[in-house]
Amino acid sequence: MACKVTSFVAAAIVGFPPYSDAHPAHSGWTYPPACCRGSEVGGDCERIPGVSVKKGPHGFSIILHPGDHHLVTKDHMFKVPYGDEIPSGDSDFHICLHPTEDHMNCFFAPPDGV
């Protein structure tokens, strides 16, 4: 299982050049262009199951299995410190994987967390 720790997602978003190919989530809100590459079918941002996300003492632990996101082909674990998550536009969790499934560049949590 791969383990990636995100040190500061907001800083990563600022560091990405703007892209015009962001796509909407299925519930209708649009992922920020700095997070998303592609379309609704081939994009790297997608809703993930709530059971994949756990709150810990220092932040979120996200465990993705094949089928949890269309790009995921093997198990992954990502850590996101509190304050580095981005509010989602709905009541679901979402993640953007870019440039490969081994790298998370944006994590979205609903306003109420878990």
Asked if the model's pLDDT at residue 44 lies above 70, the reply is yes
Between 108 and 37, residue with greater pLDDT: 108
What are the pLDDT digits (tens) for 56-109?
999 999 999 999 999 999 999 999 999 999 999 999 999 999 888 999 999 999
Q: How many whole angstroms separate alpha carbon 94 and alpha carbon 80?
A: 13
In this structure, are residues 27 and 90 in contact, taking their beta carbons and an 8 Å threshold?
Answer: yes
Is the dihedral angle over the CA atoms 32, 38, 42, 44 positive or is it negative?
A: negative
Give the tokens for residue 98: 């870019």
Dihedrals φ, ψ of 108, to 5°? -115, 130
pTM for this model (two decimals): 0.77
Distances in Å between the Cα of 110 and the Cα atoms of 16, 32, 39, 114 are 23, 15, 22, 8
Span 6-15, pLDDT tens digits:
443 433 444 4
